[in-house]
Every structure is written in C-alpha cells, then in structure tokens.
Amino acid sequence: MATNFRPPPEINMASPTLGSEWRQWRREWKYYAVASELMTKPPLVQVATFFNCAGRGAQEVASHFPDWEETNGDLETLLERFDAFCIPRQNIVMERFKFYNRTQGPGEPILQFVAALRTMAATCEFPDRDNMLRDRVVMGVRDSRTQQALLKKSGLSLTQAIDIALAEEAASRDSKLISAGDEQRPPTESGVAASMVARQCRFCCQSHQMARKYCPAWGKTCAVCQGTNHFAGSQQCPGRAAEPRPRRPAGGSAQPTARRSADWRPAPAAAQGRRPASRPAAAAVQPEVSPPANVSPEAEFDIMTTEGFPTAGGDSGRH
C-alpha cells in the first residue's frame, strides 16, 4: 500500500459535536481509502487500517459492539456500527428550527455562511434541499442591498443567489477601498482649504495665505501700542485711531506749510464771500470685528481668521 497519502486524523469520540465530526471524518476516510486502494486489500487489513487511523477512542468504542469480532468482521459493517453510535436519532423539528433561524453573522463571508447552511441542512431531511438553501440565503443575508438584488431576480436558483451575493459583497468591499483612498488624497484647487487662500491680513495689512508662518507681523512688537503679533496701523492695533493724520495744505501744494496753532480754525465759507464746496458722500465704513475677550494672542490669531478679513469678493478668510 502506498504511504504517500495523508490519513485522516484521529477522531475525538468524547467531543460534544461528535455527530458532525464523525461525518467529516468519514468523508476524509473515504477519500483516503480510495486513494490508497484499500478496497483491494483483505478485510482484516482494511479493519486494521481503519482502527489505526481512527485512534484509541474508536478502538475502545468498537470493543463494546455486540456480535462483532475484529477477526471475522468486515469494514462496511464496522462503519455502520459507528454511524449508529456517533449519529444519534435526530429531532427533525429542532434541526429545522435551527436552520430557519440561521442568519449571516457580522463580518461573515457569503461562502462561509452558505457552507454553514449546507452543514445544517444535512440533518434536516429536506425533500428539496437546494430550494431551502436558496430561501435561507435570501432571508438570512445581512446586507440589505444584497437582499434587494436577490429579490429582484425572477426564477432565482441557489447558484444564482450565491453568485449575486458574492458580486454584491465584492462591490461593497471595493467601494470602501475607493472611499478610503479619496479621503487620503490632497485637496484639489476647487477643494483647497480656506487657510491656503491668499487674503488681506488684519495683523500685517499684507496679502498672504492665512497661516501664522506666512504673516511677517507674527512675533513682532507694534511701534505704537507695544503689543505683539501686529504692525502699527493694522486693524489689530488698538492705538491706530490715535495716530495723527497729516494735513494736506490748501491749494493742493505738495510743499509742507508751517504748523498752525492748535486753536486756529478756518473761517466759514460764507464769511469769505464764496459758496461752500459740496463734499462727496463718505464711503461706508466697514464695521470692525474685535476678538472675544480673555483670549490668548496665539488663539486670537486663529479667531480673527473667520471674521473681519476683507477679501476681493467681500467675504472673510481663515488665517
């Protein structure tokens, strides 16, 4: 007999699931017996080979079989005795109840779910096993989209149900991979972050990207109010309203004139014998937004980014 074939492992006769384990073991034994051409050997060699593969537990069980001897018994009779011992009388109603309540578990693949249904259906004695398996796949599948795809198919067979469920499972897995890849991509021009758009800064009065590292005023001291992180004359400077504004001399001359006394006031236009000149309408003053109280200078830089930044389009940007 050839020795390059792997024999089935010893069977655990004390297992609480002895029935299912015996079915699996006997299936492996059948393949081994055919591959090793065991049926061509004498009956005594067949029985000895069986006990060698089944192990000590099977040998102990067989010693209690009535009216059976190793020296004159055949292998088929021995297998029937083990069938009766390992597979007790099944409660068909209970087995079918378990089958009808089997659903796909979280993260359980479709093929694994179908394999479990086939194992359970083997003890249910269904007259039409394939149709019962098909119905249980449709009703027990976990994904609602897969279930809808199965219900749309007219004349659905078991093979078609498995193929559709596998296709939906693969599509759902691929869709998650694509979505995860989109989240890791850098932003495009249309989806660029607001902090990367160049806008006029209220701290340095220059146009740059709204981030601290691009602001030349960050970390500097103001020459007017001695505050930090802004330049004199910026919207952030509290002393910019107190700065003296240079006066333009009358007549439009660019040469500076002598400074008049503080109490000097020009005479009204009517007293000078001329009509008062009409003044153009003053431009609307944009209200200034002040930062909330009790905010640190570092946090204040980011708070000002969402309010009060004039832009080319009139909206505010993030610094």
**In the predicted structure, residue 285 carries a pLDDT above the cut 80:** no
Tell me the whole-structure pTM to 2 decimals: 0.43
Residue 247's alpha-carbon distances to 161, 176, 244, 262, 267, in angstroms, are 89, 68, 9, 13, 17
Give me the residues paired with residue 228 across strands: 221
* Strand bridging mode 198-200 / 207-209: antiparallel
Q: How confident is the model at residue 257 (pLDDT cuts 50, 70, 90)?
A: very low
- Options 1.10.3720.10, 1.10.10.10, 1.10.1200.30, 1.10.1760.20; CATH of 92-178: 1.10.1200.30
How much is the pLDDT for 317?
41
Of 145-149, 213-217, 240-244, 279-283, give the range with the top mean pLDDT: 145-149
**In the predicted structure, residue 140 carries a pLDDT above the cut 90:** yes
Whole-angstrom distance, CA of residue 175 vs CA of residue 14: 46
How much is the pLDDT for 296?
52
112-119 long-range contacts (CB < 8 A, ≥24 apart) are: 113/137, 113/140, 113/141, 114/162, 119/20
170-196: pLDDT as tens digits: 999 888 888 876 556 555 545 555 556
Whole-angstrom distance, CA of residue 143 vs CA of residue 172: 10
Radius of gyration of the chain (CA): 45
Domain boundaries, the chain: 18-86, 92-178, 199-239
The region, left, alpha or beta by phi > 0 then psi within -120 to 50, assigned to residue 26 is: alpha
192-223: pLDDT as tens digits: 555 567 788 888 888 888 788 888 888 888 88
**In the predicted structure, residue 14 carries a pLDDT above the cut 50:** yes
Whole-angstrom distance, CA of residue 116 vs CA of residue 219: 68
> What's the whole-number average pLDDT of the chain?
76
